[in-house]
Structure 1
């Protein structure tokens, strides 16, 4: 009975983390008219770094020497993932951007596998991406720049996983996240300040930015760490595969973003590919961090 309760807590943590991330992304998109994606990124990273320092207190066990190299690259990937994703959802619907970005961790999982049968899941992923690619001849097609930005965010997510895993072996997970978020904030906050200036310091913007930072980073990262301690990594990966669907639902409910049937099918193909790849023993449990 105790095991079931622990497992249910872990599952609830993962699901709530995904809802928090996508709700935060929806709220962030509502900030774009006020401070743009650059300013929103600066607020998210700055507030998230501050909260994570309070939660994980990284000063107690700071990395030394060469350990900083992986953490700095990890932080740069984290920052790139954030700003590229926000630039993408400025142009394309949230659910589609999440599905395209998800190709990053999916690629890490599939390339880390040595099973030929995983080529089947690669085909599903490619089919989903192809269906999401914009029709440049149609006025109603997706914005090609938004699609490319979401794919670039996925590439940063892949680097985030690889270097986050390496950093996590040297320093505890919580400290790694806090320091990586700090690196990202140091690099990208000046971009937001230069881009948006005094618009960043209104009470409305600051309060929304704090909420975005908590929902999109501090809260879900903490919940995912709780889940990873209490459930098999394969189960964690399978649950995380639902994130594109949750992103699409968040976009529909919170932003009134309508998707076509073909786009829903494309998102479903990416989800199926991710779930299928999760059944291969590998280290890809970090994909949702």
Structure 2
């Protein structure tokens, strides 16, 4: 719970930087400092790296960078809780795709209902920006690819894969951030703010998740993680004054039910597929 709270608070704070450097610049600061922190913590050069593992990590990192960029682009016009809920459909799709049991169609139905309630197809959803929703859906696709490529990078040491993956992610997003914000990215005040975002959004959540995974069954961890859209909505309400309608809260609830149900009935699925986030605090 502390990991999710830190992540949502860090993301809410990051949104306050959009006026200064835009979503692109904020993504570059967040991912760049996250990579720096984990490179110092893990020192990935200590382990040998095979060519096949390096290619897998490069794909994993590119997906991670794209996910971050698309998610922050969606936050320009979509409330935090809703963006997280829409993004959650990516890992849900990966988890459900690993099984063909009848119960999984129930969780698909909940996820689809949640999405239909959010998409601007009806009058009550008309206040949501279609472009912002598109970015959030793209972030979900990126998250799904991040999981798939992350599994392929699993032969490398976990800390090495994560830190080098974030380094690759920073190389992907930095050109977009610099093209939008220019030298403003290197303002001392913004660098300090970017460091705070990196610590709150990656360093603290990642550390807490590692502690939690050692003490909780994976299924319990996944079920607790399913509450992140609600946590994001609360953070958006308190920190960003983002008011959600009853229908939007219902949509978040449907996607949470889908995530909890998918995790609780995972059964004998392969462990890597059941892991919705892995090192998602980096994402």
TM-score by length of 1: 0.91
For the pair 1:234 / 2:227, whether they are aligned, the reply is: no
Aligned to 2:69: 83
Q: Give the secondary structure class of the aligned counterpart of 2:17.
A: helix
Which of 200, 215, 225 aligns to 1:215? It is: 200
Q: Which moved more, 1:136-145 or 1:249-258?
A: 136-145
Contact 2:124 2:247 in 1 (8 A): no
> Structure 2 CA distance, aligned partners of 1:136 and 1:213?
37
Residue 285 of structure 1: CA displacement? Answer: 4.3
2:17 pairs with 1:28: no
Partner of residue 191 from structure 1, selected from 176, 188, 193: 176
Aligned equivalent of 1:7: none
C-alpha distance in 1 between matches for 2:214 and 2:134: 35
Matches within 5 A, 1:103-252: 103-135=89-121, 141-168=127-154, 170-252=155-237
The CA distance in 2 between the partners of 1:270 and 1:62, in whole Å, is: 41
Deviation (angstroms), 1:218: 2.3
SS in 2 for 1:91: coil
- 1:286 corresponds, among 259, 275, 279, to 275
**Contact 1:101 1:154 survives alignment (8 Å):** yes
Instruction: Verify the 8 A CA contact 1:135 1:141 in the aligned structure 2.
Output: no
1:267 to 242, 247, 252: 252
Deviation at 1:140, TM superposition (A): 5.3
Runs of 4+ aligned structure 1 residues displaced above 6 Å come to: 136-139
Of 39, 44, 52, the match for 1:53: 39
Give the CA deviation at 1:54. Answer: 1.1
Q: Deviations over 1:118-172 (max 9, x none)?
A: 101110010000001124767952000001110110010011111112212x112
Indicate the SS of the match to 2:236.
helix
SS of the equivalent of 1:92 reads coil
Query: What is the deviation of 1:276?
Result: 0.3
* Contact in 1 for aligned 2:80/2:236 (Cα 8 Å): yes
Aligned equivalents of 1:102, 1:275: Cα separation in 2: 12
The answer for unaligned runs of 5 or more in structure 2 is: none
For residues 49 and 26 of structure 2, the distance between their equivalents in structure 1, rounded to whole angstroms, comes to 29
Give RMSD over aligned pairs: 1.5
